[in-house]
Amino acid sequence: MDFLPDSEIVNLKYQLAQQIKASIHRAASSKNSNTPFLESCIDTLVDEIAELKIELSKLSLNLSNIQNQKNNHSPSYSKIQDSSPLESTNNDSKLIEFPIQLNSEYLQNVDNFYYPETSGDDSSYIWMGPENKASIELPVKMVRPIKLILKDVKFITDATKESLKIFIDGDPLELNLVEQEDGYTITAIWFPLGNRMKNKFTVDICVKESVGVQDIYPETSDTRKLCLALREIEIQDNYVEHVNT
């Protein structure tokens, strides 16, 4: 079997170790027991857990490759088509053609999104609301590091922007917000763990609360409660980028 390249294993181990260590430190932050001995125990635990997760990730990747090879010889198997980024193909796992692009027309079928709207330059966007959370379930098996990109994001208030949290399969993501002319571009990296051999994964977009448009603009007839608007969600393969770093 061809396992992950050594450079990718080292990089994944480092990333996982940092995430686990940060979680442990947050959990212990309210206690007064941060002695050098505790620090040493934490480092040892982090290394051991990271080693285990890397081995599981390698196994997951190889099992997926074997399954993909089998599916490539099956007449019932097909790739994800551009016309429908998440087209079902019986009960088989699907090869993933990156990037996966979820535009406003797709997102309107997800709970807690309104209908698409058109801006002055004829580009389409969509508002999230009236609840404060939207869950996007994607029926594809994800075994490689990915980059999540939210494009042209606008927030109903600054407080909404500050409260934004995004999770993939329950894992909180570290968000990078870059302000541009048409709104914010938000990016995040996610590393799937090898012990999650599922044929789907879920992206949760959360804010503290939705806000009534009339609470901000009393003169408007718009009675909706909104959180944020965006043009598209794109999911890219981040494997090569991390191998080369």
pLDDT for res 219: 96
Q: Minimal CA–CA distance to 114: which of 98, 129, 99?
A: 129
CB of 207 within 8 A of CB of 145? no
Burial class (CB in 10 A: 0-12, 13-18, 19+), 146: buried
Number of H helices, E strands in the chain: 6, 14
100-237: which CATH topology?
Answer: Jelly Rolls (2.60.120)
The per-residue pLDDT string of the chain (245 residues; one tens digit each, 9 = 90 and over) reads: 444 455 555 556 656 666 666 666 666 665 555 566 666 666 667 666 666 666 666 565 655 555 555 555 443 333 333 434 444 434 444 446 788 999 999 999 999 999 999 987 888 999 999 999 999 998 887 778 899 999 999 999 999 999 999 999 999 999 999 999 999 999 999 988 765 556 788 999 999 999 999 999 999 999 999 999 999 999 998 865 544 44
CA-only gyration radius of the chain, Å: 21
How many C-alpha atoms does 113 have within 13 Å on its Cβ side? Answer: 24
Residue 116 to residue 125: CA distance in whole angstroms: 6
pLDDT for res 2: 44
pLDDT for res 238: 81
First to last CA, the chain: 24
What residues contact 240, with CB distance under 8 A and at least 6 apart? none
What residues contact 176, with CB distance under 8 A and at least 6 apart? 186, 187, 188
Amino acid at 93: S
For residue 61, CA distances in Å to 76, 137, 140, 223 come to 22, 21, 14, 48
For residue 31, how far is the Cα from the chain centroid? 32
Q: H or E segment at 24?
A: helix 6-28
* Residue found under tokens 């594809």: 140
pLDDT for res 90: 41
Residue 172 to residue 175: CA distance in whole angstroms: 9
> Model pTM?
0.62
